[in-house]
Structure 1
């Protein structure tokens, strides 16, 4: 089944709140070789004016992954993970993510572009904090291969 064009404009329900943990930030920083002290040391982060360790910029992918799971579980989406290649990723921040943040993300399918039997699916996840203030918008483009290939 091809990607369902009716997904365009669809907004999925907000995710459950995600509490950003200090150790999760440290683990992520190690995994992506982000070695700035504010990513692992609360005192270094405090010296920069933050309440706790700061997440590396790509940490927002954790939130987007939760929203992606919603889309993949959507009946009749036409998107099977086995046919997906992650083509592009962007982040637009209002402020950094900090340990202790409680974040909620809402995914919207921004567009689908056919390319032969394949499709480029553009998704945006808007991430807000517990006060509803914007933290980051993640934009991801997936290349979904033809199911008949």
Structure 2
């Protein structure tokens, strides 16, 4: 099945709130070799004006992944995980993610482009905090291989 062109413009339901944990931020920082002290040391983060440790910028993918699961599990999408690779990732920030944030995400498919037998699916995930304020927009491009 080819990627469903009717996905363009489709918005998915918001995710349940994700509580950003201090240890999750530290683990992620270690995994991506983000060694700035504000990522692991509460006092270093507070000295910079933050309430707690600051997540590395790419931590937003942890929250975005919840929305990508929604897209991938949509029965009429035509997207098969075994034919999917992550082609591109971008972030547009309003502020950093900090331990203690409660974040909600909502994905919308913004574009589908044919690339030979393949398709490139672009989606934007708006991530907001508990007050509804924008934190980051995560844009992903998935490359979906054509049927064999």
TM-score (norm: length of structure 1) = 0.98
The structure 1 segments of at least 4 consecutive aligned residues displaced by more than 6 Å after TM superposition are: none
CA distance in 1, matches of 2:135, 2:125: 11
Q: Shift of the alpha carbon at 1:48? A: 0.1
Name the structure 1 match of 2:37: 37
Please, which runs of 5 or more residues in structure 2 have no aligned partner? none
- The SS at the match of 2:65 is helix
Count of residue pairs brought into register by the alignment: 148
Q: Shift of the alpha carbon at 1:56? A: 0.1
Please, which runs of 5 or more residues in structure 1 have no aligned partner? none
Query: CA offsets per residue over residues 15-43 of structure 1, 9 Å max, x none?
Result: 00000000000000000000000000000
Q: Shift of the alpha carbon at 1:73? A: 1.0
- The SS at the match of 1:13 is coil
Name the structure 2 match of 1:98: 98
TM-score (norm: length of structure 2) = 0.99
CA distance in 2, matches of 1:75, 1:87: 22
CA distance in 1, matches of 2:80, 2:27: 29
Q: Shift of the alpha carbon at 1:75? A: 1.1
